[in-house]
Amino acid sequence: MLIAAVSEDGSWSGPGWLRSVHPDGTPAEEPTPVADLAAAIATREATDHPRWLWAATTDAYPALLRAGVRAARCHDVELTEALLSGHAGRWGEPRSLAAALARLTGVPVPPDPPVRVPEPPGQLQDTLFGPAHGISGSSPHTAVLAVAGASSATPGYVALNALTRVYADQHRRITAIDRAGRLAAADRTAAFVGRPGGFALLVAAESAGALVGAEMGHTGMPWRADVHDRILRELLGPPQPVGPPRRLSELTAEVNAAFGTRGLHLDSPAEVLKAFARAGIEVPNTRAWVLRQVEHPAVPPLLEYKELYRIWTAHGWSWLDSWVSEGRFRPEYVPGGVVSGRWAARGGGALQVPKVVRGAVIADPGWTFVIADAGQLEPRVLAAVSGDDRLAAAGVADDLYAALAADSFAGDRPKAKVALLGAMYGQTGGAAIPALAVLRKHYPTAFEYVEAAARTGEAGGLVRSWLGRTCPPSSTAWRDAGLDPPEESGSAEVPQGGASGRARGRFTRNFVIQATAAEWALVLLATLRTALEGLQAEIVIFVHDEVGVHCPKEEAEQVAEAVRRSAVRAGELLFGNTAVRFPLEVAIAECYTDAK
């Protein structure tokens, strides 16, 4: 059963509207007004177990969670509209309910409202706990009313009709995409890449991820402020009333002495590059992996400074005071926040917490963490999507690189790793050259899979993930796109989007792999969420291909087994009967860092 839900005033605890809808979007009943929308949703959740249809999970679900209401399933119109627009080659178009309705009715498309940046718990404003739109004097349905041209009608009623109409159109488009995929898969001459009928699975997983993200933000990550403070003091020395802590000042002095300078600002890349140039050393940038290749006495203290400065500015005492409240860190997660489908976060840098600072992530008394990390995920994805039987055979092993080395690289695991990462990230020089030649010879199907994606990108074309997420029409910087090449790939070249066809090719060759890896992780997360129903366990960590569950100690083994089963199920849902395994390293620990 599908039930459309609209809040009249945006609070989700006041008046609203409900309407049962058939799977194809046809209304199954007349709209029903309710005085307490959260209570009505809780009742229908308990009795009917529906899939909720709403405009945006980020607007609806946090408010429902604060009212004590949890939803099992939903269809998020905004996230779905973004996926559909991207698939049609219109990546980045406005995706709100009003924008979707405008495109459907042929009227001018309004821009999406500005993104609300969450404020730290220590600086809470009324808007954080009020209606998600937080705009005084405006209705949450203002944009929809303007498009619908029905300002005299009850706003919630108009929005409900718009919601069901847009959903029906989305269902039609999803069905057409999956039908075309099945037909192409049945035609052996068609150049089809992807899972037949996978787009509906992508939409469902994206919506489920939005529920998990809201629940994680509501629950919060356990965080010990006293331990965090101790870590900072051990690394940096005590905080100073003015200026940086003692250790940063000491390292600044060491670097200046090594260069024979005074007053060099180490947080200024331009000044550091000039200092190296004066020393007769040309370096392209000040990234850590570049500096590690430079022999100069300034390098060790400079690298330490860079690491500690980042901790001090991004996760130091100011961060601790702002973001940790009542033993919890509660950021706002953004499912599908980068082009590859990986998550982003607003506020607090939740996805970039340094490993050393994670020592403050300590379970509550009587509780523990179950941390699961998918090892070698992207190479395994390449083996599964390419259909390369020989690479798939290596993907059966716990250590894919070791199996690859034994099969084709005379036991040289580092060489096998460089070859596979180089193929996925477009490294064509240095030590990768002979390794890539071996890969091309022994695993031609897998090699051609990423090469074809690169050729498509170089020609200005679009590529898609296994389930149908589509890359943008032109790449931004890899870092902005969430497609950073790992340092072990050996790539000394970080391409900028749009700079050349080759840069575009490197972008698309990795997109087809990393976006599919993100889909596997998202399906794992959604499957695990269902498997944990009935337990006290709560998902509190999700970073790319790592998931962490906070649970009572007596539930730990049960949770660990649920995680393993969910990983297997995710592989089956995406890739069917593949020989490739997706093993997880699962650890049970009371501190996050002890699980690594």
Mean pLDDT of the chain: 89
Q: Look at residue 476 in the predicted model and tell me its pLDDT.
A: 46
Residues 359, 227, 366: CA angle, nearest 5 degrees: 75
Contact residues for 63 (Cβ-Cβ < 8 A; gap 6+): 7, 11, 12, 13, 38, 131, 132
347 SS3 class = coil
Average pLDDT (28-42) is 96
Model confidence at 129: pLDDT above 50:
no
Distance from C-alpha of 218 to C-alpha of 63, rounded to nearest angstrom:
10
The whole-number pLDDT of residue 138 equals 62
The pLDDT of residue 560 is 98
Residue 280 CB burial class (10 angstroms; 0-12, 13-18, ≥19): exposed
* Band of pLDDT at residue 124, cut at 50, 70 and 90: very low
d(CA 175, CA 193): 18
Which one of 151-165, 166-180, 335-349, 462-476 scores highest in mean pLDDT?
A: 166-180
How many other C-beta atoms lie within 10 A of the C-beta of residue 496? 13
- Which helix (DSSP H) or strand (DSSP E) does residue 341 occupy? none
| pLDDT of 38 above 60 | yes
| Higher pLDDT among residues 73 and 186, named by residue | 73
Strand partners, 587: 371
How high is the pLDDT of residue 137? 43
The amino acid present at 457, given as its one-letter code, is G
pLDDT at site 135? 36
Residue 494 has pLDDT above 80, yes or no: no
Closest CA to 508 of 436, 445, 455: 455
CA 10 to the chain's CA centroid: 27
**What pLDDT does residue 193 have?**
58
Q: Is the pTM of this model over 0.85?
A: yes
Level-2 CATH architecture, domain 225-326: Up-down Bundle (1.20)
The predicted-structure confidence for 276-292, as pLDDT tens digits, reads as follows 999 999 999 999 989 99
Q: Is the pLDDT of residue 484 over 60?
A: no
Distance between CA atoms of 200 and 573, rounded to whole angstroms? 12
Per-residue pLDDT averaged across 429-446, rounded?
Answer: 88
Asked whether the predicted pLDDT for residue 257 surpasses 50, the reply is: yes
Q: Is the pLDDT of residue 235 over 90?
A: yes
Average pLDDT over residues 497-514: 81
User: The dihedral of CA 298, 304, 306, 312: what is its sign?
Assistant: negative
Of 49-53, 241-245, 250-254, 365-369, the one with minimum mean pLDDT is: 241-245
Kindly tell me if the per-residue pLDDT of 128 is higher than 50: no
539-583 tens-digit pLDDT: 999 998 899 999 999 999 999 999 999 999 999 999 998 999 999
What percent of the chain has pLDDT above 90?
78
Read off the pLDDT of each residue in 472-484 and give the average, rounded to a whole number: 55
